[in-house]
Structures are given as C-alpha cells and as structure tokens.
Chains A and B, each alone.
Chain A
Amino acid sequence: MSADQTPPILLTLCGGVLVSCGVLLMLERSLTRLVVGTVLIGNGANLLILSTGGKPRHAPILDGSHGGGPFSDPLPQAMILTAIVITLASSAFVFSISYRSGRITGDDEVRDDIEDRRVTHVDQRLRTEVREQRREFRAWSRRQRRTIRQARRDLRARIREDRRRRATDDPTRVEDYPEHPEARDGGPDEPPERGLGA
C-alpha cells in the first residue's frame, strides 16, 4: 500500500464539480441533457474513486520495478477500470434509447406518466362534478325558499282579506275559502337527483 492515502484535493474537487454539473443537467426535461448528466456524474464518481488512491507521483505497481519505494494503490485503478466499462455500456444504451425515443416522439422531452394523468383527471372530474351538484342544490334550495316565502305571503294576504270581509260583511254568513291556486301548485317541487352518477 502507498505511504500516504490522503486523497489529493484537486482530484476530489474535480470529481465534485463534475457530479454537481451532472446533477444540474439531470434536473432538465430534455433527454439529451439527462444523458449527458449521467455521463458527467459517472465520470465524477470515477474521479472520486481514483482520488482514494492517495497522492499522485508514486510508481505504478509493476513487477517490482518501482525499486522498493512507495507505489500507488492499484485497487482504485482496477475499480475505476470496471466502473468506466460499466458507465460506458450504460451510456451507450441510454443514448440508443433516447435516439429511439426521439424517433418515436419527434422531440426529446421526457413524457409525463399517462396513468398518473388519468388518475388526476378522474380526481378533477369528480371534483367538478361535486362542485356542480352543490351549485345546483343551492340554486334549488334558493328557489324553494322563494316559493315558500311567496306562498306564506299569499296566505297571510288571504287571511287579512278574509278578516276584513268578515268584519264588513254579515258575520253569520258562512263561506268556504275559494281554492287558492298557488297554495296547491306552487308547493316545493322535487329536488334534482343527487349522487355522482347523475
């Protein structure tokens, strides 16, 4: 193992900058930027692994020819070789998929999920339905109150009229009230049908 395992600040910083650029790109909606973002993050991560190998300037590990001095840690190098291959393969695949996506949709925007939209759509539809029914119900009850008030007013007027007539006319005379048309026909009508299936 090498003498000093402290990660060099420059490599670590570079890795950090690459990763943050990648994250910034991944926040975009364009597929191409997403893909470039993943490539940048992959390279940043590889640099971070390389930086764990310790200070540069040490000899590579080669069949004892480093003369017994300190040599650089070979394990991070082996690991990033593997990681580079994996990142390369994934990027190639993602590029081909985004090419295919571009061919199909004509642009490289990331599409929303259809089912999600459907569920929210149903939700919104239910909401508007409920709102409409509430409005309808309110209008109906307003109408209802107005009819009742009218009927009451008519009735009072009729009673007043009747009393006046009794006072002026012959008190012994007995007469049926004429049927008042509003009293029977202007009564409360049926409420509009309720329920979501309306």
Chain B
Amino acid sequence: MNALLPLPVLLPMLAAGVKIVVGPRHPVVQRVISVLVLSTVVVVGAVLLVTADRHGPQTTQIGGWPAPVGITLIVDRLSGAMLTISAAVTLCVMIYAIAQDMADREPVTPLSVFHPTFLLLVSGVADSFLAGDLFNLFVGFEIMLTASYVLITLGGTPARIRAGMTYIMVALMSSMLFLVAIAVLYAATGTVNLAQLAVRVRDLPDGVARIAEVMLLVAFGVKAAVFPLSMWLPDSYPTAPAPVTAVFAGLLTKIGIYGMLRTETLLFPGHALRVPLLIFAFASMLVGVFGAMVQVDLNRLLSFTLVSHIGYMIFGLAMSTRSALGATLFYVLHHITIQTSLFLVAGLIERRGGSTSLRRLGGLARSSPLIGALFFVPAMNLGGIPPLSGFLGKLGLVDAGLSLGGPLVCAVVATALLTSLLTLYSLVKAWNQVFWRAPRDAFRTDEPAVDVPEEDAADWPVGTARLAPGMVGATVALIALSLAYTVAGGPLVRLTDRAADEMSQPARYIDTVRPASNGDTRWIVPG
C-alpha cells in the first residue's frame, strides 16, 4: 500500500478541473498551477522510482477492494522510470509553452484550452504507466488520446483539422482494436487484472494466446508508429504547435512501446513472435530513415526519424533477452528526451527563421548561434555520436543483438548501424541547409516552392520573433537532462538492467499484486 501512487494521476486531473473553474482571466494563476503540479508529479515519480527500486514494486488497490476485483495501481522500476522521465519532459514542455504564450499571444493556441488539456494528457500518461489492470490501461490511453485530439486540432485551422482528422481516425481504430483484445482476453481468462492475467494466460491454448497477443501488439503498434502502421504520424504531427508536437513525438509513441514491453514481458513471455517483430523492426528502421532523407520540412524529417528509431525499440523487444530489455528501456528514456528537445528546437528555428521548410531556411548559424548549438547536440545524440546517450543506447542494443546471434538478428544489427549513419546524414544535411548555407541560397529556388492550396499557405508563419528566455531555458534543461544520461550513465544502465531483471521475472510483479491469503481460489485457473 503506497499512498503516493494515485497522485501522478489525480493531481493533474484535479488541477485541470481547477483551471477550468479559474478560467482564462487569470493567466498567472493558471501558469503557477501548471508548473507547481507538474513539478510535484516529477518529485512523486522520482520518489516512487526510488521506492520501487529499493523495496520492490509498490501497489495500491483503489477503493480498498482486493486485487482482482479492485483496480490495481502498481509501480515497478519500468513504470517508475518512464513516469519520472515523462513527467520531467512534460514539465519542460509546459515551461516552453508558457514562455511562448507570454512572448506572443498566438490566437491559435488559446491558453484556456491548452493548459487544462495538457494536464489531462499528463494524467492519462501517468495512468497508463501505473495501471495494473488491462482495462485501466485502456482508460489511461483514452484519457491521453482524447486530450491529444483536442491538442492536435488546437485553434481549428484548416491544416490542423485536416491533419487531426487522420490522427483521430487512426487512434480511434487502434483503441477499438485494443477494446476487442480486452474482450478476447476476458472471454478466455475471466480477468483483466494484469497479474492475474499473467497467471491464467499460461494455461490458454497457444492459438488463443497468440490471437490476443497479436491484437494487443497491433493496437500498441499503431500508437507507437511501427512501420506498416506508421503512415499517420508524419502527416499529423508536424502541423500542431511546437510544444504539442514535441510532447506527442517524444512521449505518446513511447507509451505504445511501454504497452508492448509490459504485455510482452508480463503476459506473453517467450519468443513466439520474435521473427515477425524483428522483421517489423528492420522495416521501421529502413523505411523511416529513407523517408527522412527526402523530406524538405524539418518537422517532417524529425517525424520520419522518429519512426526509424521506434524500430530500435521494437528490435530490443523482439530479442527480449535480459540485456536487450535493459538496453531498450535505456533507449526509450533517451529517445523521449532527445526527440522532444529536437522538436522544441525546431520550434525555436521556426520562430527565428519564420519557417520549418529546409528550402526557405538558411544562415541561422550567424544570426543565432545559440539555436545552432541547441540543434547540434541533440542531432548528434540522435545520430549516435560516441559520448552521448544515443551511442550508449545503440551500443547496448547492438551488444545484446550480437550476443544473441543468429542470421536475422545480425541482419537487423547491421540495419541498425546503417540507420544510425543515415540518420546522421539526414540531420547533418538539415543542419547544413538551416545553419551553414548563405541565406540567399535558400531563397534562390527556381522551382515553385509550394503547390499548396491557398488556405494552407496562409497558415505558414512569416517574420521573425524574439526568442523568449523561457523557451530557450526549457530546451536547454531538456538537453542538459539528455547529457545527464551520459554523465550518470553507469547508475542509469544499472537501473535499467535491474528493471530488465524485473521484467524477465514476472513472478515478483504477480506476488506483489496477489492478495496475502494464498488459498484465494480466484487466482487459480478455472477447471
């Protein structure tokens, strides 16, 4: 029993309600509440992580009902680490958004909608991480997704409505699939509690277990944007405001990955689907990075690299050995931070350069060297340049792959290295175009730069703006966090390895949730 557990879900949700009551007329109160609540969530997340690390998984049964009846909240090392990092990232994004809002009251991002919705999103994210119950995981996803529907169509401009429609449709489809998967599992086992499911799924016929596993993987795969299911992502993310895109790209896809990690290790341990997962990892890496190479818009380029780097996480999940799981968790944490900071920097570039189109930008290294430095560090990190955390994560995955061996695994390892190189290529190309070439080269394009309809062209920002210190500060803080992964690399890798230990031994998780009375027949598989 741990009273802190419901806080990361409850606090942002309550704060969102308070904000709606406070209304848009007191922006200062709104900002103070946002920052206070998110800082508290970071602290609570860190405390939970440390407790779970020292004393094993912590649970709370909501309403005091014992495990299979009541709703279980549980934090172990995996969810604790994810919760802490995602709370820290959302805090930075919130500060960035506040600074941007203060610098220019952009009419398309109304403060009164953004703040409560963003907090609901954080609440949904926390609920997904802490859920010890498959249906509660679904509810957490839905809270997060419904908030994200509002955020991605913020302001209702034509481009955002068009992009948002794609996003919402795809997300709804995957939610429905998730719901049907829950129905299948409940019909087969009579429970939705993850720990009890873990006990009962062992006794299911192989075919039934595979059906449920594949349905869950597809539902999570849509959210994580694994290759054949990733087509919606580059279409829908880049049009949203910079802070929204940043938190979506950094965080929301990783929740799909978290869902996969949780269900694959707890409910369906073993390697039944290793080969298909390896193939999807392979395809995600290559297709994503090839897509990134031809993009002419910075945000879209980053979205495509996101797809390719999801491939690394699927690769780790496919191997599912102890070291691979540890490396995957490290990679997920690293990637949340890096992808978010890259999108925040893209937002800064857009403010300074007036566009995110690589055709129109140029010469920013001279006009704002600070942005140059801010882009360079995470870009190199994503490409996997040695001292940075991207290198450590890739090293861990490659190491796990080589120690596992096998022709397919080795092929994916080779692809991972190639993808890393091509990521570096596309980011360096973007860097050259945005920062190093002379500005007049940027505008000397004889081709029609766009063949967009009028209403979308009108949406493009023009002019340059002063960089608000808060925006730069939030970005710097995120990049510092990513550098801290390198500085504290040893302890962090040991932590993710311990988390991997926990993931590969689900018994500990099950024992924590199982009620004390061992004679409880509900934990025994019915006849």
Residues of A within 8 A of B (CB): 1, 5, 7, 19, 26, 31, 34, 38, 41-42, 45-46, 48-49, 51-52, 73, 75-76, 79, 82-83, 86, 89-90, 93-94, 97-98, 100-101, 104-105, 110-111, 113-119, 121-123, 125
Contact = CB atoms under 8 A, between A and B. Distances in A.
A45 B294 CA distance: 40
Given A49-B179, A79-B135, A38 B173 contact: yes
6 contacts: A52-B187, A76-B186, A82-B135, A97-B161, A114-B452, A118-B450
Contact of B146 (A48, A73, A89): A89
A52 B192 CA distance: 12
B295 A119 contact: yes
B153 A97 contact: yes
Contacts of A119: 294-296
Interface string B457-501: 000000000000000000000000000000000000000000000
B142 interface: yes
A117 B153 CA distance: 22
Given A51-B187, A104-B455, A90 B135 contact: no
A49 B182 contact: yes
Interface in B299-314: 300
A79 B192 contact: yes
Contacts of A76: 186
Q: How large is the interface on B (under 10, 10 to 19, 20 to 34, 35 or more residues)?
A: 35 or more
B206 interface: no
B6 interface: no
Nearest to B145: A90
A73 to B, nearest CB: 8
Contact of A101 (B161, B187, B190): B161
B101 interface: no
B411 interface: no
Contacts of B447: 122, 125
A110 B179 contact: no
A125 B297 CA distance: 18
Nearest to B457: A114
A106 to B, nearest CB: 11
Interface in B61-116: none
A98 B153 CA distance: 11
B168 A93 contact: yes
A42 B176 contact: yes
B172 A90 contact: yes
A119 B290 CA distance: 13
A5 B190 contact: yes
Contact of A41 (B153, B166, B173): B173
Contacts of A117: 451
